[in-house]
Amino acid sequence: MDHPFLRWMDRLYLGTIWAAGTAIFFMSLIIPWGVFSRYVMGTGSQWPEPIAILLMMVFTFIGAAAAYRAGGHIAVNMLTEKLPLPLQGVLTRVVDALMLVICGFVVWYGTNLCIETWGQGIAELPWLPVGATYASLPIGAAVTLLFVLEKIVFGSQAHRRIVRFEELAEGA
């Protein structure tokens, strides 16, 4: 944890965890309110569903970046674990390269999607541009891209010691 880039990645990782956790927390408050207002009060609110969808996108795409860095993402290892170690290393590099390509694609086209839809409004929330609702897509892909680069250069996070929040705060 002595390299400045790793310290920055640790902070970014902590930020992604907090963003995803905050999103799921508020989703768990907003969805019951929508159900309560519709079925108990008989007057359905218009805002809970689009806000919950926005929060789900934050949870999904920002949380996926955190899951990638933690090694908690979906991986099918059944075939690769049966291969010889040198070939496993080659396949790891191929997967890393493909991840860089995919993340770059999503950053580029996700950003273009946000820009092109920024002028459109959501009927239930006219103050919120449609492009803002898509922003977690390129942001999450950009963060994942940084985590992939970190893995390529410094190795998997699973092989390094876990940094506590207090240590990050002290290093700030």
* Residue in 161, 154, 148 with CA at minimum distance from that of residue 68: 148
Residue that wins the pLDDT comparison between 166 and 108: 108
Q: Which residues of 93-131 are buried (b: 16+ CB within 10 A; e: fewer)?
A: eeeeeebeeebeebbeebbebbeeeeeeebeebeeebbb
Rg of the chain taking only CA atoms, in angstroms = 20
Whether pLDDT at 169 is above 90: no
Residue 38: predicted pLDDT: 84
Whether pLDDT at 1 is above 70: no
41 SS3 class: coil
Residue that wins the pLDDT comparison between 151 and 156: 151
Tokens of 33: 């309110």
Residue 121: predicted pLDDT: 87
Residue 156: predicted pLDDT: 82
Where do the structural domains in the chain lie, given as residue ranges?
4-171
State the DSSP code for 18: H
Strand partners, 121: 129
Residue that wins the pLDDT comparison between 106 and 70: 106
- End-to-end CA gap in the chain: 14
Strand partners, 113: none
Residue that wins the pLDDT comparison between 49 and 101: 101
Residue 134: predicted pLDDT: 93
117 neighbors 159 (Cβ within 8 angstroms): no
Whether pLDDT at 94 is above 80: yes
Can you tell me the mean pLDDT for 115-125?
90
State the DSSP code for 3: S
**Residue 137: pLDDT band with limits 50, 70, 90:** very high
Residue 165: predicted pLDDT: 57
